[in-house]
Amino acid sequence: MKYKDQKENEARLKADAISKELPSFVRQFFMQEENHLSGMTLYSYASQLRTFFQYLRESSPYFAKKEMIQITTDDMDALTDADIAEFLHDLRMPKKRSSNAGESVCSETTIMHYMVSLNRLFNYLAAHRYIKANPVELIKRGRVKKKEIIYLEKDEKKELLDTVATGEKLTKNQQKFHDIKASKRDTAICTVFLDTGIRVSELVGMNLNDINFTKHGIRVFRKGGNFDTVYMSDHAEAVLADYIENGRPYYKPAEKEEAVFLNRSGERISVRAIQKLVKKYMLSSVPDKAEKITPHKLRTTFAENMLLKTGDVEKVQKLMGHSAISSTMHYVTSTEEAIEAVRNLSQD
């Protein structure tokens, strides 16, 4: 089974397992939605709806008498916008994650995701006349504060890539493991991130047959469940080809191993491993930003670079694989250069 199919199936199985804890009408809702939503989206909806029903049981004497699976559509019809607002308020309250951990608070972005999940469920119930109206529609959506855009400047990119290639700024212990295969693999990983802007999950999922050196493209499995092609520069293509030819064989993969990027066991590298290696190199090369730069911030660096060079938000939207241009607009900084770069977008 291909990696993408495996991850998709795992997410769907997790969503299905959670839905079995929930009321029967939620399972019906999922069965209607599953044909046009990815496994990860279904899993997200299932997890968030479970949190909602758990909240109802914990906060209401009426619901406390019921298991989640016993909640009915009549119960849902009795809920008001005030009940939904109370739930959202509860999400904003600091909570202890565990006895040894600090408190966690839902971000406004996460709360907006909860509202989307609830709105979709209540819309389904209203459309099928299980309830008279959707109470979520009466809730005023909060405005998510625009976060500071964190990315690497040109000289910082060079510092990072130089450190990855040579290992010179690593600790003595880290340098012991910085052999030719690690150097070539990690250089290829960071170069592909910065050159194409793909997501870490897309990079982890890359197979050898996804790369077309003739057409300079890489086929990636996008977040929404669709395949897309991203294109490499000549430099990135050369770095990737060098790793595949001169670095990958050192990992001694099994003959049937399709993954491009491998761990020390010769198997597909994990998302977590890539997150750790990016942080390791950042601590040595650009320590001031080490805590803020993740694989996703390398993707952000690509977006910022392309926006400044092209001034074309729609083009960058396609390069990033965003389904909505609003997602791309998050990468537009408030710098004078960025504002100037998009000044003509209002023209037909």
Whether the predicted pLDDT of 272 surpasses 50: yes
Contact 118, 53 (CB under 8 A): no
In a domain, 110, yes or no: yes
318 and 249 both lie in a single domain? yes
Write out pLDDT tens, residues 285-343. Answer: 999 998 999 998 998 888 887 777 776 777 777 777 766 666 666 666 544 455 455 45
User: Does 347 or 209 have the greater pLDDT score?
Assistant: 209
192 and 89 both lie in a single domain? no
In a domain, 346, yes or no: no
Q: d(Cα 246, Cα 190) in Å, to the nearest integer? A: 17
pLDDT of residue 101: 46
- Residue ranges in the chain assigned as alpha helix (H): 3-19, 24-33, 39-59, 61-64, 73-78, 81-92, 108-127, 154-166, 172-176, 180-196, 200-204, 234-246, 271-285, 295-310, 313-320, 325-329, 336-341
171 and 125 both lie in a single domain? no
In a domain, 146, yes or no: no
Domain termination site, one of 138, 165, 188: 138
Write out pLDDT tens, residues 26-52. Answer: 999 999 988 888 888 999 999 999 999
H/E stretch holding 104 = strand 103-104
Q: What's the number of domains the chain is made of?
A: 2
User: What are 211's strand-pairing partners?
Assistant: 218
111 and 183 both lie in a single domain? no
| CATH number for the domain harbouring residue 231 | 1.10.443.10
pLDDT of residue 97: 52
Domain around 206: 154-341
97 and 166 both lie in a single domain? no
Domain termination site, one of 89, 112, 138: 138
Write out pLDDT tens, residues 217-271. Answer: 999 887 767 788 999 999 999 999 999 999 999 999 999 999 999 999 999 999 9
Domain termination site, one of 89, 104, 138: 138
197 and 329 both lie in a single domain? yes
In a domain, 203, yes or no: yes
pLDDT of residue 330: 65
Task: Residue 58: name the closest of 87, 18, 89 by CA.
Answer: 87
In a domain, 162, yes or no: yes
DSSP state for residue 101 in the 8-state scheme = S
pLDDT of residue 348: 46
Query: In this structure, what token pair is assigned to residue 165?
Result: 């290639």
319 and 215 both lie in a single domain? yes
Write out pLDDT tens, residues 82-120. Answer: 999 999 999 988 875 544 445 567 888 889 999 999 999
Pairing of strands 217-221, 227-231: antiparallel
Whether the predicted pLDDT of 192 surpasses 90: yes
Burial zone of 112 (CB within 10 Å; 0-12 exposed, 13-18 middle, 19+ buried): middle
